[in-house]
Amino acid sequence: MIQEIGGATDDRIYYSDFNLCGCSQHNQSSSRETSLAHERLDNQPAMPTGNGSIEYRRLGIVPVEHVLVYGSEDNVILKDVGVPGKTPYFASDGYLTDFSGTKLPGSQILAALPLDLATLGDTFKWPRKQQEPLGELPVDATNVSGGFARNSFRFGDGNSIVTVGTAIAKLLPLRGGGAMFWVVSAQVVSQGTGKYEGARGIQSFSGSSHFPNWPASPGDQVGVLAAGFQAKIHRCLKIVLKENQVT
């Protein structure tokens, strides 16, 4: 289902758009409990945060799970390179957007991701081919180790959330001399303010940057990162508010 809301396309997922396989497990009409749960979700309005709607209630597995899906435009710079006693880190500062790309007024993203310069070359290494059967152990985690990142989100409406967790960075040289820089992260909520005070949940993101000219030497690569660059990131936050938790 595609609807127009305030001139922008609403691409939220509605359960009624999918019939799945039609079996008793997936057929909504076969389970009164499932139908009631979906009905409760359908009766929940889209909750706007800031000036754009980024909360997608129908993506929650139950009504108490709030799902926020949004983007961010980040200015990133590698700091503290060569500073004695300090760890180099990527510092991000930017703003949040809805999925039409519209900025949420008053919003802000702040992030920090430490970088061990000795392992910068590992970002060019990719996982080995996984062996069958893929649904069983073992899992080969070669070249997928990560560091720890922290994100802070101000939504522009007096509410905020902070998350922390693992992040993996990868660099891919491109034909023509450029490079893609990707970071993916899985994080856990540590704190919040406003209606998100006491909330618990998770945040995941996938971000990308592009360098038109990527140098060959590690020293020059660090110089490019330290000069600053732009990142475009898509994020998903799944939380349960404090009033729905057992404390």
Q: Domains of the chain by range and CATH?
A: 22-244 (2.40.480)
Give the pLDDT band of residue 148 (cuts 50, 70, 90): very high
What pLDDT does residue 238 have?
98
What pLDDT does residue 77 have?
98
Share of the chain above pLDDT 90, in %: 77
For the CA atoms of 37, 161, 188, 206, the dihedral, rounded to the nearest 10 degrees, stands at 90
Give the pLDDT band of residue 107 (cuts 50, 70, 90): very high
* pLDDT tens for each residue of 150-181: 999 999 999 999 999 999 999 999 999 999 99
DSSP secondary structure letter of residue 218: H
* pLDDT tens for each residue of 6-65: 334 344 433 333 333 444 444 443 344 444 444 444 444 444 443 468 999 999 999 999
What pLDDT does residue 247 have?
82
Pairing of strands 8-10, 200-211: unpaired
191 is written with which tokens? 């704190």
* All residues at 6 or more sequence positions from 179 whose CB lies less than 8 Å from its CB, including other chains: 171, 172, 173, 210, 211, 214
Residues 161/189, Cβ–Cβ less than 8 Å: yes
What pLDDT does residue 27 have?
43
Phi-psi region of 171 (alpha: psi -120 to 50; beta: other; left: phi over 0): beta
What pLDDT does residue 29 have?
38
Q: Where are the alpha helices (DSSP H) in the chain?
A: 32-42, 218-226
What pLDDT does residue 31 have?
43
What pLDDT does residue 124 have?
97
Give burial (CB, 10 Å; 0-12/13-18/19+) of 68.
buried
